[in-house]
Chain A
Amino acid sequence: MNHSTEQLDPVRAPSPDQPDGTRSGVHWAASIMPIVERFGLLILLVAVVVFFAVYPATSQIFPTMANFKNIAANEAVLIVVALAVLVPMVAHRFDLSAGAVVALASIAAAKATTSMELPLAVGVVVGIGVGLVVGLVNGALIAYCRANSLVITLGMSTLLIGAGAYWSGYQTLVGVPQSLTSFGSGFWLNVPKSVWLVVCVALGVSYLLGMTVYGRRLLSIGSNESAANLVGMPVQRTVMTAFAVSGGLAGLAGVLLLARTGSAASGVGTGYLLPALAAIFLGSTTIRPGRFTVAGTLTGVFFVAVSINGLTLAGTEDWVEPVFNGGAVIVAVAISSLLTHRRLTGSPRQYKC
């Protein structure tokens, strides 16, 4: 993710003259590549949907409305986690603690509404609040101590898993109020309520990243932190806030998980992290290649989710899912890095893999 320190200036570092278009066969590729690049993932998503819709083992169930609703509702938690991680990622920082925050927030909300017998609204606030506090601690350490985000949030993630285990007493907490679980499984206008929540979060993050001064600052920091400092942007505060937003959203995802499953246990959240990263990086190869966007991330989530759903319906075994998720994140990061490098140097031939 770090910026290349190579000479980027064609005037200052003149290269030997290289006449354009000497290699034939480059022309058609040059005109079609940008389109493939922009819509590649969407095309792939459609292809996957079509494949599972006609593939004999899945064609009975896969292309039904019920199944699509099921996918959307199941992936609600993942989407919120992905959008949470997306916010600091725009400033080129990783939040690897989001998965652990999901678990801890669901435990907190479960504890508040069961053993502490607090009202549901308070439980929701407690869940989000736990995430917010974790995010603020992450952000303060990363922004003001200039610590590496990967290591800080990885450490935080491990710490939170242990804390969650202690807090839940190694138990799976159950017995949350019915009003919460009915939200998790309920419908409004024939659409799962959790999907409505996801739509709200997606719109909110879109607004934050695309239509506010804050979003512009995040984008600028991600593009060139040194320049962002020199144009007077409050880099540290912006970075810290990004982690706070990420933590808060991950907390919300935890509450949503509790509403969906009716139970909370330490360790359940970490499974969301890798697919979330896969979705973000897959998303950064599409629509606006090289940038981390909400639309791209949503496309990425559905690509991952639809593929997994189809594979599950086709009767594949459990090991397929982690292999797919891991493979997706590796391929996505590799492509995304190549795209970024090419955007910055204008040349696809300088890769040093």
Chain B
Amino acid sequence: MAGPETGAAASGLEFQGVSKSFPGTRALADISFAVRPSEFHALVGGNGSGKSTLIKILAGVYQGDPGGVIRLGDTTSQSDHVTPRWSRAAGIRFVHQDLGLFPQLSVTENVLAGTSYPRRRGGIDWGMAHRTVQGLLDSLGIEVAARSFVRDLRPADQTLIAVARCLSDRQTSSIHLLVLDEPTTRLPADEVHGLLERLRSYSRGGQSILYVSHRLDEVLEYADTITVLRDGRHIDTRSASEHDRSTIVEAIAGQAQAHLSRRVNKSVPGAPVLSVEGLTGGPLRDVSLSVDAGEVVAIAGLVGSGRTSLMRNIYGAVKPAAGTVVVNGHPLSPGNVAEALDRGISFVPEDRARDGAFLDLGLRENLSATTVRRYRRLGWFRRGQETGDASRDVVTYRIRTPGTITPMVKLSGGNQQKAVIARAMRTSPSVLLLDEPTQGVDVGARSDIYAQIESAVDAGSGVLLATSDLDELLHLADRVVVLTAGKISDQAAGDEITRTWIYENVYNAGDGK
């Protein structure tokens, strides 16, 4: 099948011994593989496998450890010397998960953003601009009018516009490699195939493509070659025809590793502290679930599946369109955070800097933010008492800090997170909503945070946990609920929860199977 002419120079990409260390961890260890010319090459792996880190090294966002080499055609760079400028000059173009489009502008403006517009008599020659972009779109087989607005396009076409923008200067410079980072994550299933069909035709036309994805079925169906990473190591690079679902799941999941043993289940069956009935709103569609006292229920799902929405709707930070939330037998009025807190729900948001921490205030002020009312007596604020409580939390939750009035921003990420969780515990919640509680946290702080969570569970709290970290899920969860496109698609409890089960049910759901 002859694809549209993309004008790409036929040359491959090669990683040789690329490693990346962060303080305390090794994100990538000695990665070597090659993307052959005009190949549709898929890069797969679970969260924390090192996919994104590798892509960021290629883009020059991170610097690799010394010793590695990246070769592109006849251009070579040490992996610690790659800069965004080198990457671009070498002919690598990236389409990120967040497409970086301007929805309210025209396709032409989006494609030409960052380049020089054709000019006539000092102004922009719009006729020329539209014609140029339309020519590009036509040559790429994208059936979209250059004058239309990006917000009016279907999601798959929007992704293609992002691709077209990457390829817009292919007349003047050779594009050796197109990298797409999970472009289908937010696409409806019926649009995924059209997009992948297009991409495959580009690779048939000579364009090398490195395609990062979570979704195994689409990778198996469309890619020529599949490279699997796990825990920062290169597992294998094989022709897609040599793989089937089970071999690829096995390669991604690996053998069951004894990272952390499973917690002892301490739940009290039949005593739900939280019941959610028919919750609908945003991406959520009729979600019902319950959490028993002392139980940890994990919500598994891809980005965009509605995990964060579910937590925010339960907590009242977002007002659901329909559905009820009952805590300890008390129905909550929708969209009322203060009531949810009073009834015993606490929430640890995913994005600490944006939603969790008061970075320029002291640790003490951060710890008492949910419970400020307690310190009011006769119109005065009892600072002494507040300081005492803060000192106790610092000891209990092992927060490493010079003092209780140290500004939050001076603490390490792990200790900030411990403080945010300690604050959530201040109200002795019967329901604890944890959204990615150990994201961006070092190993030591992580085990302290697990201890925090376990002590809450021992005290009878029910925990609803959203996590992308499989080890964490396996360690903490008594039960797993899989959320797919806002709906509960599957459940598992106890020993049914395995790495393989999670991969089978999370990463493949939504492929239209």
Question: Which A residues fall within an 8 A CB radius of B?
Answer: 5, 7-12, 14, 16, 210-213, 215-217, 219-220, 223-224, 226-234, 290-291, 340, 343-344, 346
Contact = CB atoms under 8 A, between A and B. Distances in A.
A212 B376 contact: yes
Nearest to B340: A232
Interface in B353-409: 353-361, 365, 369-370, 372-373, 375-376, 379-381, 407, 409
A234 B369 CA distance: 12
A16 B63 contact: yes
B345 to A, nearest CB: 10
Nearest 9 A/B pairs, CB to CB: A12-B440, A11-B413, A223-B358, A8-B353, A232-B338, A231-B369, A232-B341, A11-B440, A231-B370
B354 A12 contact: no
Contacts of A234: 338
B354 A5 contact: yes
Given A12-B439, A227-B355, A346-B409, A215 B381 contact: yes
Contact of B358 (A11, A220, A290, A346): A220
B333 to A, nearest CB: 13
B337 A230 contact: yes
Looking at B22, B23, B337, B439, the one whose CB has the most chain A CB atoms below 10 A away is: B337
A212 B380 contact: yes
Contacts of A232: 337-338, 340-342, 370
B414 interface: yes
Nearest to B414: A11
**Interface residues on chain B, size class:** 35 or more
Interface in B312-337: 315, 317, 337
A266 B271 CA distance: 68
A230 B359 contact: no
B147 interface: no
Contacts of B174: none
Given A5-B354, A11-B414, A213-B375, A344 B359 contact: yes
B506 to A, nearest CB: 22
B418 to A, nearest CB: 13
Given A8-B409, A227-B355, A230-B349, A213 B373 contact: yes
Nearest to B356: A227
B360 A230 contact: no
B347 interface: yes
A5 B360 CA distance: 14
B442 interface: yes
B358 A227 contact: yes
B133 to A, nearest CB: 30
Contacts of A5: 354
A213 B337 contact: no
Given A212-B376, A215-B381, A231-B423, A224 B357 contact: yes
Nearest to A346: B409
B358 A14 contact: no
A228 B359 CA distance: 12
Given A212-B379, A230-B317, A343-B407, A220 B442 contact: no
28 contacts: A8-B353, A10-B412, A11-B414, A11-B441, A11-B442, A14-B22, A14-B62, A213-B376, A216-B372, A223-B359, A224-B354, A224-B357, A224-B359, A226-B354, A227-B354, A227-B355, A227-B357, A228-B369, A230-B317, A230-B337, A230-B355, A231-B370, A232-B341, A232-B342, A233-B369, A343-B359, A344-B359, A344-B409
